[in-house]
Amino acid sequence: PEGDVLPAFIDFLGDPSRTIAMAHNAPFDLGFVGGALARCGLAAPPHAVIDTVWMSRRRAGGLPSHSLRSLVRCFGIGDTTEHRGLSDS
């Protein structure tokens, strides 16, 4: 249940003055996390967030797609197993 895992997730994030959250299309993910936090009566952690889609569009604007799969192929990095923590990272 959300109420069980969210406190552990917030603890995992650590000290907001020392850690940054990063996600590909962060606003999408943060919408789900924010909804879950609200349902559980928890405040959103104050961590800075880096959106790697924004980074991709800014640094590689000429790409036809900024999906993780497209970036992995374009830059020849990692594998293409999507939506798994290690490969997405």
What string of H, E and C letters represents the secondary structure of 36-54? HHHHCCCCCCCCEEEEHHH
**Cβ neighbour number for residue 42 with a 10 Å cutoff:** 16
Residue 80 has pLDDT above 80, yes or no: no
What is the mean predicted confidence (pLDDT) over 48-65?
94
Whether residue 35 has pLDDT greater than 70: yes
Is the pLDDT assigned to residue 58 strictly greater than 90?
Answer: yes
The two tokens of residue 61 are: 């604007």
Average pLDDT on 48-54 reads 95
C-alpha to C-alpha distance for 68 and 78, rounded to whole angstroms: 10
Q: Cβ(79)–Cβ(87) under 8 Å?
A: yes
In the chain, the largest separation of any two C-alpha atoms, in whole Å, equals 43
- Is pLDDT larger for residue 14 or for residue 72? 14
